[in-house]
């Protein structure tokens, strides 16, 4: 009997999951991917747009064309999922019945949740580079910014790619130095965390880099209001941070339809799953991948890629009535652009924080240390994204399990 597997979302996780599944599942399993549009954005490229290092049109491709043959594509907005009748309801009133459902609808930005953020000054004096429109608008604002205070603020976690706002600071420092206006510009990084990053060793190294580059660090700041007109962030504790140009990373939530699907999501519309098997806590025939889940790992493309292996294995096992494979270890791997053609690399999982050393083994790319090789790695990643990651090929030498071989577990603080 034909089985229906429906994949919600045709972004990073939905695409790589569908392509891998198509290769591994027999023809009597029917695969359908649903997404609301046909523009697949290479999101890591958004970081480079404000600095004129990438153009919005260069980082977008057709979603449909990233899916291999034998996969149906439905372009329609999802309205809600009914777990009980195993049905997806689409915005045009049509429905899709499923035997197994994969939620891969990522995270959305919710600037409206922060008072004032999308009010006066939004996209004039306050920008974000987390959306294609925002990144493009910010390019114009940066080009004409010659003096004053540029403040980069993360409203609260979780956000996609938690290192991206730091990378933005490093690149801004470089950009303004190249333009010989750095002396007249104050750069400030304002975070709700108690350090530059969540994990102690990396946090220290990154704080050191901020200091070297003369970027002020304001910690434990919980933004309660953004006053775009007056140019200030107001904290819940009544602290204020003035700015001439604000770059704000808005709050993130899971997709809205998750909230309209009884039982599927948590209070922020993320989908609670077992952190090792990716099976939903709400129903055994529902899985989730990528930014849509509530797993305590970074919301990153690398995480989505590593989860893909476990997801595909578990979908196969579930359809065959076998026990699931509880092997996802929270592996994440991120390049951090630091400007001047250099980058740093971090590699970590649920248990092990990012440590110095080399990746994937003792002869390899330097970890937690600036190098040109890492910068080239980051640039090459875009090619890998379209040609290896989305088609669902393994990247040679980079597996789902975090390698420990090259890591220095004893570190001098």
Ligand X SMILES: Cc1cc2nc3c(=O)[nH]c(=O)nc-3n(C[C@H](O)[C@H](O)[C@H](O)COP(=O)(O)OP(=O)(O)OC[C@H]3O[C@@H](n4cnc5c(N)ncnc54)[C@H](O)[C@@H]3O)c2cc1C
Binding interface with another protein (CB under 8 A) = 156-158, 162, 193, 198-199, 220, 222, 224, 236-237, 251, 267-268, 296-298
For ligand X, the binding residue among 5, 7, 12, 155 (CB under 6 A) is: 12
410 makes contact, choosing from ligand X, another protein, none, with CB < 5 to 8 Å by partner type, with: none
Minimum Å gap between C-beta 184 and ligand X is: 27
Angle, CA of 98, 100 and 103, to the nearest 5° = 100
Strand-pairing partners, residue 385, are none
User: Which residues in the 119-158 window bind ligand X by CB under 6 A?
Assistant: 129-130
**Structure-derived torsion over alpha carbons of residues 77, 80, 86, 87, reported in degrees to the nearest 10:** -50
* Number of residues located near ligand X, criterion CB under 6 A: 35
290 binds ligand X, rule: CB under 6 A: yes
For residue 110, state whether it binds ligand X (rule: CB under 6 A). no
Burial profile 48-58: b = 16 or more Cβ within 10 angstroms, e = fewer: bbbbeebeeee
Residue 16 vs 300, nearer CB to another protein: 300
Of residues 44 and 231, the one with the C-beta less far from ligand X: 44
Q: How far apart are CA 280 and CA 42, in angstroms?
A: 27
Question: Is residue 173 close enough to count as binding ligand X by CB under 6 A?
Answer: no
Out of another protein, ligand X, none, what residue 232 binds, judged by CB under 5 to 8 A for its kind, is none
Q: How far is the CB of 12 from another protein (least distance, A)?
A: 18
Distance CA 157, CA 223 (A): 12
Buried b (16+ CB within 10 A) or exposed e, 378-413: bbebbeebeebbbebeeeeebebebbeebbeeeeee
Question: What is the smallest separation between the CB atom of 239 and ligand X, expressed in angstroms?
Answer: 26
Residue the block writes with tokens 């083994």: 361
How many angstroms from the chain centroid is the CA of residue 137?
Answer: 21
Among 48, 145, 174, 257, which residue sits at the site for ligand X (rule: CB under 6 A)?
Answer: 257
Would you say 156 or 256 has its CB closer to another protein?
A: 156
Both structure tokens of 362:
């003792």
At residue 293, φ and ψ (nearest 5 deg) are -85, 170
- Is 59 a binding residue for ligand X by CB under 6 A? The answer is no
Gap between the Cα atoms of 142 and 234, Å rounded:
23
* CA proximity to 288, closest of 304, 302, 301, 300: 304
CA distance 285 to 188: 46
Task: Decide if 34 contacts 90 (C-beta within 8 A).
Answer: yes
Q: CA 341 to CA 195: how far, in whole Å?
A: 25
CA distance 154 to 248: 6
Of residues 14-33, those binding ligand X (CB under 6 A): 14
CA distance 348 to 57: 32
- Ranked by CB distance to ligand X, the top (closest) residue is 11
Residue 91 Cβ vs another protein, minimum distance, rounded to whole Å? 25
Q: Say whether residue 105 binds ligand X (CB under 6 A).
A: yes
Q: Which is nearer to another protein, 215 or 297 (CB)?
A: 297
Q: Give backbone dihedrals phi and psi of 95, rounded to 5 degrees, phi first.
A: -130, 160
**Cβ at position 163, least distance to ligand X in Å:** 7
Q: List the one residue from 160, 213, 252, 375 that touches ligand X (CB under 6 A).
A: 160
Q: Which of another protein, ligand X, none interacts with 222 (beta carbon under 5 to 8 A by kind)? A: another protein
Nearer to ligand X, 151 or 271 (CB): 271
Binding status of residue 292 toward ligand X by CB under 6 A: yes
Does 255 contact ligand X by CB under 6 A? yes
CB closer to another protein out of 199 and 369: 199
Q: In this structure, are strands 232-235 and 240-242 parallel, antiparallel, or unpaired? A: antiparallel
Residue 336 contact partner, candidates another protein, ligand X, none, CB within 5 to 8 A by sort of partner: none
The distance of closest approach from Cβ of residue 9 to ligand X in the complex, given in angstroms and rounded to an integer, is 3
Which of the choices another protein, ligand X, none does residue 160 contact, using the CB cut-off of 5 to 8 A by kind?
ligand X
Q: Considering only 5-13, 65-73, 178-186, 262-270, which stretch makes contact with ligand X by CB under 6 A?
A: 5-13
Query: Residue 349 CB, nearest distance to another protein (Å)?
Result: 11
Q: Which does 237 bind (CB under 5 to 8 A by kind): ligand X, another protein, none?
A: another protein
């Amino acid at each position: 009997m034909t089985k229906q597997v429906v994949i919600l979302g045709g972004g990073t996780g939905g695409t790589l999951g569908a392509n891998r599944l198509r290769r591994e599942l027999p023809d009597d399993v029917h695969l359908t991917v649903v997404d609301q549009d046909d523009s697949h954005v290479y999101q890591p490229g958004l970081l480079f747009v404000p600095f004129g290092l990438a153009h919005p049109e260069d980082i977008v491709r057709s979603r449909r064309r990233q899916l291999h043959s034998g996969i149906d594509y439905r372009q329609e907005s999802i309205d809600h999922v009914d777990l009980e009748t195993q049905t997806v309801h689409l915005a045009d009133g049509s429905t899709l019945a499923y035997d197994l459902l994969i939620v891969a609808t990522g995270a959305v930005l919710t600037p409206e949740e922060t008072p004032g953020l999308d009010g006066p000054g939004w996209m004039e004096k306050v920008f974000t580079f987390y959306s294609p429109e925002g990144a493009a608008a910010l390019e114009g604002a940066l080009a004409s910014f010659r003096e004053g205070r540029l403040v980069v603020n993360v409203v609260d976690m979780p956000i996609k790619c938690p290192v991206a706002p730091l990378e933005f600071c490093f690149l801004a420092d470089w950009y303004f130095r190249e333009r010989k206006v750095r002396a007249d510009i104050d750069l400030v990084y304002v975070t709700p965390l108690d350090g530059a990053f969540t994990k102690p060793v990396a946090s220290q190294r990154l704080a050191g880099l901020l200091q070297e580059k003369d970027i002020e660090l304001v910690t434990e700041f919980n933004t309660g209001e953004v006053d775009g007109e007056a140019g200030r962030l107001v904290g819940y504790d009544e602290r204020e941070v003035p700015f001439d140009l604000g770059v704000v990373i808005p709050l993130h939530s899971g997709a809205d339809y998750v909230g309209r699907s009884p039982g599927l999501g948590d209070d922020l519309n993320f989908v609670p799953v077992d952190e090792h098997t990716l099976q939903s806590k709400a129903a055994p025939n529902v899985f989730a991948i990528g930014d849509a889940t509530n797993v305590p790992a970074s919301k990153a493309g690398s995480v989505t890629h590593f989860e893909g292996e476990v997801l595909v294995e578990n979908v196969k096992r579930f359809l065959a009535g076998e026990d699931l494979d509880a092997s996802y270890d929270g592996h994440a791997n991120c390049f951090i652009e630091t400007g001047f053609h250099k980058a740093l690399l971090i590699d970590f999982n649920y248990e092990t924080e990012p440590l110095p050393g080399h990746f994937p083994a003792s002869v390899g790319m330097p970890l937690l240390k600036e190098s040109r090789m890492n910068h080239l790695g980051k640039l090459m990643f875009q090619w890998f994204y379209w040609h290896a990651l989305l088609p669902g090929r393994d990247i040679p030498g980079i597996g789902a399990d975090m390698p420990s071989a090259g890591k220095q577990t004893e570190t001098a603080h």
